[in-house]
Copies of this chain bind each other. A is one copy, B any other.
């Protein structure tokens, strides 16, 4: 039911994913009345879909606390997440309210043993391919230990999504020297250097290193990560508008742009946000993927495929194992697993 366009777009996206993944099956949770026509139109879903009616739909602008109260046990979002908890589904994908999705996912699925706080990981296009950046908004002010956990989770996701055997990991900072940054980043850097974790820690990276693709995984706390990803999106949109205005200003440049349209298509394609759609919630007992609310069917299908990749490659199990392995190595007090939200 979520996203800016509702089930017409999301179900078309499910259909596209069904076409590409003939062995996948789907459960849809929401207003059965609103879903009936899009489901009937979905060519590849026939015989492979269960529709579950839900009385309540979480609104896009609802506060997470209110969504939890109002939507508990009866919203489509809750029921979809609960299907993962009950092992009826392998993963949940939503284009709905991010804060509500995270709050319900933490409540229903809980964090993995040894993980203090969850993170949202974004897939970021770079000069050399794609980099995973986390956290982009789940845990504001993550401390050193949580940053180390994010590094472990991001590395596992990079392996699962891109098949990299030994992904490289960097800590986002304002300089590359050891003395730079705030206390939690410096301390996390020290831990990652000294703990001899089975991951390739490459040290500090700066904001402009993300687009260069300097490392496969960039780790930061949720406030900075959220500002960074939105600033990058804003910059890309601004340049796009400038380019359009510049090209449209004379007849000759319009003609030139027409001839170069193949190149522009290629450029748009590389930066297409639909191809990098899918914010993965890491650190929970189950796979949860958040699609951009403004995406179309193609973008929603991509988010589903990210979820499929995560399930196929055993992301949750891998994170659980990696964390268990380093659990005794983390010197910063006890782990409490899930803490009060």
Please list the residues of chain A having a beta carbon within 8 angstroms of any beta carbon in chain B: 63, 125-127, 137, 140-141, 172, 174, 177, 179, 181-182, 185, 206-212, 220, 222-224, 226-239, 241-243, 246-247, 249-250, 252-253, 255-264, 266-267, 270-271
| Chain B residues whose CB sits within 8 angstroms of the CB of A258 once the complex forms | 256
Candidates B212, B222, B239, B270; contact of A271 at CB < 8 Å: B239
Q: Is the CB of B271 within 8 A of A263?
A: no
Known A-B contacts A235-B236, A246-B263, A263-B249; A229 and B257 likewise in contact (beta carbons under 8 Å) = no
Given B174, B208, B259, which contacts A140 in the complex, CB threshold below 8 Å?
B174
Measured between beta carbons, the chain B residues less than 8 angstroms from A232 are 207, 231-232, 234-235
CB-CB under 8 A from A250, the residues of chain B are 262-263
12 A-B contacts, Cβ less than 8 Å apart? A63-B177, A125-B238, A126-B238, A127-B238, A140-B181, A239-B271, A242-B270, A247-B260, A249-B262, A250-B262, A256-B260, A259-B259
Copy number in the complex reads 2
Majority SS at the chain A contact face: helix
Q: A181-B140, A239-B271 are in contact. Are A227 and B174 (CB under 8 A)?
A: yes
By the criterion CB–CB under 8 Å, are A236 and B237 in contact? no
A206 to B137, CA, bound (A): 12
Residue of A126, A182, A207, A258 most packed against chain B (CB within 10 A): A207
Give the Cβ gap from A172 to chain B, nearest Cβ, in Å. 6
Question: Within 8 Å CB of A127, what residues of B?
Answer: 238, 241-242
With A256-B260, A260-B260, A261-B256 as given contacts, are A208 and B224 in contact (CB-CB < 8 Å)? no
B253→A223 contact, CB < 8 A: no
| A246 close to B261 (CB less than 8 A) | no
Residues of B within 8 A of A249 (CB): 262-263, 266
Q: Is the CB of B243 within 8 A of A267?
A: yes
The smallest C-beta distance from A168 to any residue of chain B, in angstroms, reads 17
Tell me if B271 and A262 are in contact (CB < 8 A).
Answer: no
Is B223 a contact of A246 with CB atoms below 8 Å? no
Q: Which residues does chain B contribute within 8 Å of A241, judged by CB atoms?
A: 127
Shortest Cβ gap from A205 to chain B (Å) = 10
Quick one: which of A179, A236, A261 has the most chain B CB within 10 A?
A: A236
Alpha-carbon gap, A224 to B224, bound state (A): 5
Name the residue among A137, A179, A233, A253 with the largest chain B CB count within 10 angstroms: A253
Give the top 5 A-B pairs by smallest Cβ distance, nearest first. Answer: A256-B259, A207-B230, A256-B260, A208-B234, A207-B231
Kindly report which residue of chain B lies nearest to residue A240, judged by CB atoms.
Answer: B239
Task: State the CA gap A174–B222 with chains docked (Å).
Answer: 9
Q: Which of B233, B235, B253, B270 contacts A260 (CB 8 A)?
A: B253
